[in-house]
Chain A
Amino acid sequence: MVVFDKPKALADAPFHYCPGCTHGIVHRLVAESIDELGCEGRTVGVAPVGCSVFAYNYFNCDMIQAPHGRAPAVATGVKRAKPENMVFTYQGDGDLAAIGTAETVHVGARGENITIIFINNAIYGMTGGQMAPTTLPGQVSTTSPYGRNIKIQGHPIRICEMLSTLDGTAYAERVSVDSFKNIKKAKSAIKKAFEIQQAGLGFSIVEVLSTCPTNWGKTPTEALEWLRTDMIPYYPLGVYKDITAKGENRHV
């Protein structure tokens, strides 16, 4: 009996990601959610520019590769052309929170009925460890070699907090994939985001705190530890907005 198999929506292609990188886990969670909702045939994924640029090779649904930062606009085009489709983007922090901030904010403002899976690992991966909009104060990167100095380079952006202020955002949750418990939570958040889209309720985003051992200069284990000790305190986990929740939980 098979107890653990590759999700159907995940393509039979080896990931190119570095050892210890959490992209693979998040890909799997997205694919599992598609499988469970039985929506692969009407799902269209939009890949970003960044480490996950090859995401179009890893899913069995139709895929589009977008220009840097523009995945939310591309997803808007797909959704408006074919509203019956389940449309998601998969974007990193540079793509979503730097070059694509305008596109990101405006899918929220329009209440665009799409889902963003946002990978926040506080660094640019593909180009080799430069400062990201989410790089923590004091964090060393190749373009903040003395540590991010907020007087010079400004402050990190907390995306879920920002997007939850928009009326069109139906659901915003920050999760992490550093532990089994958190991975399970991340999975239900992603599935819930898809369900919210399926119900036509508006824009949904799941921010996933992730590791980049290679560019953080850490072992995979050290990286997971740093995520817990340094990232989570700055980027608290939890539901920031959920219009399906009752009472005060609606807008956390």
Chain B
Amino acid sequence: MYNILLAGFGGQGILFAGKQLANAGMKAGKEVSWLPSYGPEMRGGTANCSVIIDEQPIGSPLVTTPRVLLAMNLPSFKKFENKVLPGGIIICDSSLIPAKTARTDVSAYYIPATVMASEHGIEGMANVIMLGHFLKVCHLFAYDYFEQAMISSIPPKREKLIEVNKKALSLGYHYAE
């Protein structure tokens, strides 16, 4: 079972990134659930979502002790760092998180996703860069499979988003610390 927690500020595309994982899981024939935090804030504030991808029917959809944490801001990193299961994975957007985990029982990866997005002229795509790096370190989905699943969820009228998503995914996947 993969239980994944994605957390950051509202507006970073946290919920979208989680949805891409759930969608890819569903298309691969797995049981999936996606549960967002929700609140009165539309922008800013904190946002997180629980994604579970499992072979078995899913019980609680709420991820409190994630196997994988994707953190995109410092408050989320601090809040959830110690909740990650031993042997689990933490992926941080190091452009926004000026800290490293002290834990030695998890694998931690640091990728400056927000800065990379900005440098490559794809502002707002840090979430997909994070997903690309997730694919690299988690081996949950094959790269080509995930890319295809993600592209097929983009509606035809937003066709121009296909290339930027591909680019972001690739940047994240090929990033080496």
Q: Quick check: do A and B touch in the complex, using CB within 8 A?
A: no
